[in-house]
Amino acid sequence: MVHRWETPGSVWLEDEHTAQFELASSEGLGRVEREAQSRGRLPDIAHLLGASLPLSCDCSPIYPEGFAFCPTCGAPLDKLAGRTRTPPDWWGPWSDRLLPRHVPHGLSVTALALGDSLEDRPAAPAPGRPDRSMPAPPNAHCVFAAGTFGFSAQRLIALAHARNVLQYWDPLGAAWHVMAAEDNTADLTFSAPASSYAWLPEPDPLRGEVGLVPTDRGLRRLFIDPVSETWRTESVFDGRLASAPGAMRRHLACLVNGDQGVRLWSAHSDMSNEVVYECDAPAGHWERPLGYDGKLFWLHAQGQMVWQPDAPPQWIAWPAGWSPRLQFGGPTQSRDGRLWLIGHDGQAYSFLELGRADGQLEALSGARLGFASLLFRRGHAVVGEPWGQEHVEDPHDDDAMVLPLLRGFNNNRSQPSGLVLRFHQYTGMAEDALAGRILPRTTVEWIGKRNVILDDIARLARPLECVPFVYDNCLWLHHPDWNQVRGWHLDALP
């Protein structure tokens, strides 16, 4: 005999003989298999659903949502419903909806107040070490998102989009789980020749809803079921995507490969008003789009695609002989608010004004790494115009090179702050440091009101593969070569 218990979100079964509860179904979840409820997974499932866990008795390993006392023995339970305070979402360093409009969207900039915590640490040159670590996901070339996905607790997922593998972190079991596709024909692979990845989060998710993801066959709405450890997709738009999608106010847009060349597909965010524009532009290798000044920009080794909603897109090839250095970070702003991209004309580096066919050029005496006004010439910050003199605080910094990873946007500060890598005793070409070369000594640093060394890394290669993310009130740094993700505590973020 089993008793059936119904809560507002779920149905539970209580075995009359053992008095143990088991989840039968819950809103937004697919079929709940009995074997999915292994004992090791139950604490995580209870937190996800806001159910209850035993504190002192051993009558049942889990109880329905809202239970405050064990119905068998009367012992108090750990009632999780309505208790968790959810930290802010994370959708990748390029995706922060809370940034003001005068900051370019789509670059590695966060509005989270990371500096307020990190700057409490001892200032450089005091050595620093991570406070926490977690195992790297088994498929280590991945993007991370932290959100509730409509559940009661925030969770971390890691998508290895080149391999069609979605990974789920169970923080209570301290283990990564590879989620299975509910339907074998669904595929999250996004390999659009070497284009960079970006998903569009769902700000007000249904249970299990993640957001819009680009795949090789089109845009899909992704849902996860962490109880069964599965995922499924719904089709939003079918087409051979050439780039990651972007959003500008109420509009979505994406580059798609057509029979005649590249097209720009756009729609309102409710998927009404679909429009397709034919373009004369290359087929692959697109950077993820950035949004600025009411327009979306997709950058490419050969030029830029600029699109303003409700108007045809404009493909602008770079000036003859000039090639961009997209790997240096991305566009930056001048004081008057224009966007600039660094490149090289065969003789020297220069900044090119974006968004115009006859963009202004500003000559440079050397490479500058960074984006969105977090910019460095070798070891020195550039704080005025992007092409202006660097700010030399310590001449020894000439022997280092700084690569910005994440800017922390703070309206109350005149100088940009952020997370950087400093390559010590490196006087070679910037291009070589970012490619295959092994860098003997690198420090992870927070540059802000005070500079703080967070960690010291020996023999780093391919620094551009470093992925910062924020989850569980920690700043984390992942690199596919590392077995452990390094984490630094943050004070509770608002």
The contact set with Zn ion (CB under 5 A) reads 57, 59, 70, 72-73, 75
Look up residue 360 and give its amino acid: Q
> Which of 72, 451 has the CB closer to Zn ion?
72
> Which of 20, 72 has the CB closer to Zn ion?
72
> Which of 43, 137 has the CB closer to Zn ion?
43
> Do the strands 275-278 and 262-268 form a parallel or antiparallel pair, or are they unpaired?
antiparallel
Sign of CA dihedral 439, 350, 322, 373: positive
Residue 259, φ and ψ in degrees, nearest 5 = -70, -30
Nearest approach in angstroms of CB 72 to Zn ion is 5
Sign of CA dihedral 111, 451, 490, 226: positive
- Residue-by-residue DSSP string for 17-73: TT--EEEEEETT-----GGG--GGGHHHHHHHHT-EEESS--S-S-B-TT--B-TTT
Nearest approach in angstroms of CB 53 to Zn ion is 12
Provide the 3-class DSSP secondary structure of residue 94: coil
Provide the 3-class DSSP secondary structure of residue 34: helix
Q: Do residues 310 and 277 lie in contact, with contact meaning Cβ atoms separated by under 8 Å?
A: no
> Which of 62, 146 has the CB closer to Zn ion?
62
- Please identify which residue in the block is written with the tokens 């500096």: 115
Nearest approach in angstroms of CB 3 to Zn ion is 16
- Residue-by-residue DSSP string for 150-166: TSSS-EEEEEETTTTEE
> Which of 67, 307 has the CB closer to Zn ion?
67
Question: What does the alpha-carbon distance between residue 260 and residue 247 come to, in Å, rounded to a whole number?
Answer: 25
Structure tokens at 442: 């690198």
Structure tokens at 304: 């830029």
For 101, counting Cβ atoms within 10 Å of its Cβ (0-12 exposed, 13-18 middle, 19+ buried), the class is exposed
Task: Give the start-end residues of each E strand in 208-261.
Answer: 209-215, 218-225, 230-238, 240-241, 246-248, 251-257
Nearest approach in angstroms of CB 16 to Zn ion is 15
Nearest approach in angstroms of CB 198 to Zn ion is 48
Nearest approach in angstroms of CB 191 to Zn ion is 52
Nearest approach in angstroms of CB 69 to Zn ion is 8
> Which of 3, 102 has the CB closer to Zn ion?
3
For 355, counting Cβ atoms within 10 Å of its Cβ (0-12 exposed, 13-18 middle, 19+ buried), the class is middle
Question: What does the alpha-carbon distance between residue 197 and residue 206 come to, in Å, rounded to a whole number?
Answer: 23
Nearest approach in angstroms of CB 272 to Zn ion is 53
Q: Do residues 373 and 416 lie in contact, with contact meaning Cβ atoms separated by under 8 Å?
A: yes
> Which of 67, 349 has the CB closer to Zn ion?
67
Nearest approach in angstroms of CB 20 to Zn ion is 10
> Which of 57, 162 has the CB closer to Zn ion?
57
> Which of 60, 373 has the CB closer to Zn ion?
60
Nearest approach in angstroms of CB 17 to Zn ion is 15
Structure tokens at 358: 């006859």
Nearest approach in angstroms of CB 57 to Zn ion is 3
- 341: how many CB neighbours lie within 10 A of its CB? 25
Nearest residue to 74 (alpha-carbon basis) of 62, 56, 50: 56
CB burial string 140-149: b at 16+ within 10 A, e below: bebbbbbbbb
Beta-carbon contacts of residue 296 (< 8 Å; ≥ 6 apart): 246, 248, 253, 289, 290, 306, 307
> Which of 21, 149 has the CB closer to Zn ion?
21
> Which of 77, 460 has the CB closer to Zn ion?
77
Nearest residue to 76 (alpha-carbon basis) of 55, 46, 52, 50: 55
Nearest approach in angstroms of CB 52 to Zn ion is 11
> Which of 19, 364 has the CB closer to Zn ion?
19
Nearest approach in angstroms of CB 11 to Zn ion is 21
> Which of 70, 188 has the CB closer to Zn ion?
70
Question: What does the alpha-carbon distance between residue 163 and residue 433 come to, in Å, rounded to a whole number?
Answer: 27
